[in-house]
Structure 1
Amino acid sequence: MGTSNVFATYDPTALFAGAFPVRHRSVTIASGANTAGTPLKRGTLLGRNSTTDKYVPCVKTANDGSQTPVAVLAAPVDAGSADVVGPAYFEGEFAAEIMVIDASWTVAQVQAALRQASSDIYVRGVGVLG
């Protein structure tokens, strides 16, 4: 055995859950998407309001278009009192246990909604953390 062997390590806090290509772009997070001073966390599942074209945490019971999961927040943002531009992933494979998914969803429901939307976002369980 030479020293050129490369071994992958498992990081239980990693948002990424696989080697699927990751693509991101800037989006506008709507003012009031979070409580001021409590930023949205990296990994938050986002939906897009079809009227304003702004992003908010995806809630299954919404009826403004944001009930459809379309992106994953790539960095913490505080849109508590004003719109904020921030990065969001539109492709990738993500660990459900690390993501911030609204309680109105189960992971299986998110997976089904992403499949139905023909999304390139894949959410999967990587096991119990902690």
Structure 2
Amino acid sequence: MSMSLYENDTLVSAQRIPIMRSVVIASGEVLEKGSVLGRITATGKYVLSESASADGSESPDVVLASAVDASTGDTAADVYIAGAFIDKALKFGAGHTAESTWHGLRAKSIYIMRGV
């Protein structure tokens, strides 16, 4: 598990201390900071969560801490597993919105806050 320094920015809200860990992003993904990711059950790897997926990743699970280019292979990346995040800074996959993921993420200690 890698450790990263916390950087204050427009993604993380000051209302909760964010908690991070390192995960594996599946090969083929090119993701922006703030992407809401789901975990593929069979592999344990993370991809952009899309509501129509049927591999486990349809359930939003974590928030990507920095942009990642895994286009050439699986890549380790830091994600937030808990904290409060500004809705306008989050990047959602097809079929997901801040409203549609709010309850599921809240159960995982990820809180979506309305930005200004």
Q: TM-score, normalised by structure 2?
A: 0.87
CA RMSD of aligned residues (A): 1.5
Identity among equivalent positions (%) equals 34
Matches within 5 A, 1:94-113: 94-113=85-104
Q: Which amino acid aligns with 1:27?
A: V
User: 1:124, 1:110 → 2: CA distance?
Assistant: 12
Match of 2:109 among 114, 120, 124: 120
CA shift, 1:33, in A, is: 1.9
Match of 2:32 among 38, 41, 51: 41
User: 1:103, 1:62 → 2: CA distance?
Assistant: 10
CA shift, 1:102, in A, is: 1.6
- Kindly tell me the number of residue pairs found equivalent between the two proteins: 109
Which aligned runs of 4 or more in structure 1 are off by greater than 4 angstroms? none
Match of 1:53 among 8, 20, 44: 44
User: 2:58, 2:66 → 1: CA distance?
Assistant: 21
Aligned partner of 1:14 in structure 2 is 10
Higher gyration radius (CA) = 1
Structure 1: where are the runs of 5+ without partners? 1-10, 35-39
Match of 1:85 among 55, 58, 76: 76
CA shift, 1:46, in A, is: 0.5
Establish whether residue 23 from structure 1 lines up as the match of residue 23 from structure 2.
no
Q: Which has the higher strand share?
A: 2
CA shift, 1:16, in A, is: 1.2
Q: Which amino acid aligns with 2:17?
A: P
**Aligned partners of 1:17 and 1:126 also within 8 Å:** no
Aligned partner of 1:3 in structure 2 is none
